[in-house]
């Protein structure tokens, strides 16, 4: 006898919403969905188990009377048209939980090995002038405009920035998917990055599905959060005024690190054409959106003109991103996997495993792999003897 179960329509709709499924995805992956919602046909237990797995929903949650409250576990400073984003996706939540788990492990590792705390973590407040902190960050990372000019590409600038931040003791994770699941892509329109504050194990996560230039800005923005000593989920948006003083402060720090106003005033050729925006973006190793913001800060654009041009440029960039995603082959696993974890974190896990303090089984789980050969290949890639 086939057992069918009734599920509250609100729970079914909640599951597909948090999974990021649109109507086309629903039709493709669960064509019986509308019948379930209308209660004209009820799913079997096996069908419901499959649905829960596909939407990354705990099966037990589908037997509740109403959708559970799933708040973001860190301060949410994102805004969309100046309104807080209401419901996080399961991909965002799983990414934060995974990073918190790895941060917890690294904190214990740092404590047991007597690693020093990160000196600048929590060393300033939003009352500290952004230009002062920007100068400190620029000098600490050797990331001035003249030093950046030595990088051959945006990709090299990003990799050098990651390495230099990690050398200060901060864990840096850049990933465009959940873990290593290429079917669970992160959406840069939902969030750009987040920071997990800690004196011993501060962690920065940057959405790798974003453009390389946008990732650079987000990374400095999240580093500014580390200097403040507070965790935050950010979209690093610049087109709208924010109610979050902390976000505004971090944006100002990042903008001054990457595009000093004095330099922009000297470099600007007087046009906001795509060619001019891209020229300045290449020079400063930032996105054209950051260039537009600094043109506004330098009073070359009014607020209304800035907002209008920002929206046009944002649509152009997202169209480019979508085209690149369609063409993407995923890259070399062993080149990209270490930064999906943080090289600093991966080295610590491997070293602790070789010392016999972490079991290989636990190391595989921490590093997101199941095979010993993959573990050995990662050892060779990140240079741990």
pLDDT digit string (tens) for 12-46?
999 999 998 999 999 999 999 999 999 899 999 99
pLDDT over 70 percentage in the chain: 91
> Does pLDDT of 251 surpass 60?
yes
Under DSSP, the state recorded for 3 is: -
Adjacent-strand bridge partners of 114: none
295: burial class by Cβ within 10 Å (0-12, 13-18, 19+)? Answer: buried
pLDDT value at residue 241: 59
pLDDT value at residue 74: 93
- The Cα–Cα gap between 170 and 205 comes to 11
Residue 358, Cβ neighbours under 10 Å: how many?
Answer: 18
* Residue (of 172, 184, 173) closest to 19 by Cα position: 184
> Does pLDDT of 332 surpass 50?
no
- The Cα–Cα gap between 162 and 133 comes to 19
> Does pLDDT of 327 surpass 70?
no
Of 33-42, 108-117, 196-205, 236-245, give the lowest mean pLDDT range. 236-245
Q: What is the pLDDT of residues 126-155, one digit of tens each?
A: 999 999 999 999 999 999 988 888 888 889
Q: State the Cα angle at 202 between 196 and 204, rounded to 5°.
A: 60
For residue 108, name the pLDDT band (cuts at 50, 70, 90): very high
Adjacent-strand bridge partners of 185: 177
Q: Cα 47 vs. chain centroid, distance in angstroms?
A: 33
> Does pLDDT of 114 surpass 90?
yes
Under DSSP, the state recorded for 229 is: T
> Does pLDDT of 84 surpass 70?
no
The per-type count for the chain, helices as H runs and strands as E runs, is: 18, 6
Enumerate residues 6+ apart whose C-beta is below 8 A from 181.
Answer: none
> Does pLDDT of 334 surpass 60?
no
pLDDT value at residue 378: 77
pLDDT value at residue 82: 46
Mean pLDDT of 70-77: 89
pLDDT value at residue 64: 93
> Does pLDDT of 372 surpass 90?
no
According to the per-residue pLDDT averaged within each range, which of 82-91, 224-233, 236-245 is highest?
A: 224-233
For residue 85, name the pLDDT band (cuts at 50, 70, 90): low
* Residue (of 218, 216, 225) closest to 198 by Cα position: 225
- The Cα–Cα gap between 299 and 2 comes to 69
- The Cα–Cα gap between 196 and 303 comes to 32
Enumerate residues 6+ apart whose C-beta is below 8 A from 385.
Answer: none
Mean pLDDT of 271-297: 91
Domain ranges of the chain: 9-54, 90-327, 333-382
Residue 311, Cβ neighbours under 10 Å: how many?
Answer: 11
* Residue (of 84, 329, 321, 342) closest to 202 by Cα position: 342
Mean pLDDT of 197-205: 97
Q: In the β-sheet with 171-175, what is the strand arrangement from edge to edge?
A: 171-175, 203-207, 193-196, 232-234
pLDDT value at residue 295: 94
For residue 368, name the pLDDT band (cuts at 50, 70, 90): confident
Write down the mean pLDDT value for the chain.
88
Residues 92 and 184: beta-carbon distance below 8 Å = no
Q: Could you tell me the sign of the dihedral formed by the alpha carbons of 88, 89, 94, 96, in that order?
A: negative
> Does pLDDT of 116 surpass 70?
yes
> Does pLDDT of 67 surpass 50?
yes
* Residue (of 52, 53, 97) closest to 74 by Cα position: 97
For residue 81, name the pLDDT band (cuts at 50, 70, 90): very low
Q: Is 209 helix (H, G, I), strand (E, B) or coil?
A: coil
Residues 59 and 31: beta-carbon distance below 8 Å = no
Per DSSP bridges, beta strands 177-178 and 181-185 are antiparallel
Per DSSP bridges, beta strands 171-175 and 203-207 are parallel
Residue 39, Cβ neighbours under 10 Å: how many?
Answer: 11
For residue 79, name the pLDDT band (cuts at 50, 70, 90): low
pLDDT value at residue 239: 59
């Amino acid at each position: 006898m086939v057992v069918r179960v009734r599920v509250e329509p609100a729970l079914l709709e909640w599951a597909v919403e948090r999974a990021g499924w649109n109507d086309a995805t629903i039709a493709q992956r669960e064509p019986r969905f509308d019948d379930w919602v209308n209660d004209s046909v009820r799913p079997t237990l096996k069908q419901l188990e499959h649905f829960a797995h596909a939407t990354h929903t705990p099966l037990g949650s589908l037997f509740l009377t109403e959708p559970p409250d799933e708040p973001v576990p860190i301060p949410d400073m994102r805004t969309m048209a100046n309104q807080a984003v209401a419901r996080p996706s399961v991909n965002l939540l799983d990414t934060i939980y995974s990073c918190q788990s790895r941060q917890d492990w690294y904190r214990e590792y740092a404590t047991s090995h007597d690693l020093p705390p990160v000196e600048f973590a929590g060393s300033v407040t939003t009352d500290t002038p952004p230009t002062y902190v920007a100068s400190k960050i620029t000098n600490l990372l050797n990331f001035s405009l003249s030093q950046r000019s030595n990088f051959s590409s945006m990709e090299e600038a990003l990799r050098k920035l990651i390495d230099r931040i990690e050398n200060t003791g901060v864990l840096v994770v850049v990933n465009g998917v959940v873990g290593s699941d290429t079917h669970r892509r992160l959406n840069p329109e939902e969030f750009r990055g987040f920071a997990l504050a800690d004196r011993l194990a501060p962690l920065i996560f940057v959405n790798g599905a974003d453009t390389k230039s946008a990732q650079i800005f987000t990374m400095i923005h999240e580093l500014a959060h580390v200097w403040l000593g507070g965790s935050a989920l950010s979209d690093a948006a610049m087109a709208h005024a924010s109610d979050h003083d902390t976000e505004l402060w971090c944006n100002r720090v990042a903008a001054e690190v990457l595009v000093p106003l004095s330099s922009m005033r000297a470099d600007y050729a007087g046009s906001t054409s795509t060619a001019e925006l891209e020229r300045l973006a290449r020079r400063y190793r930032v996105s054209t959106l950051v260039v537009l913001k600094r043109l506004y800060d330098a009073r070359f654009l009014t607020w209304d003109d800035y907002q209008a041009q920002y929206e046009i440029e944002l649509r152009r960039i997202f169209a480019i991103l979508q085209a690149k995603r369609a063409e993407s082959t995923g890259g070399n696993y062993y080149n990209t996997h270490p930064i999906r974890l943080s090289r600093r974190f991966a080295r610590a896990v491997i070293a602790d495993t070789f010392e016999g303090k972490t079991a290989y089984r636990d190391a595989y789980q921490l590093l997101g792999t199941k095979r010993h050969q993959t573990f050995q290949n990662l050892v060779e890639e990140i240079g741990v003897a």
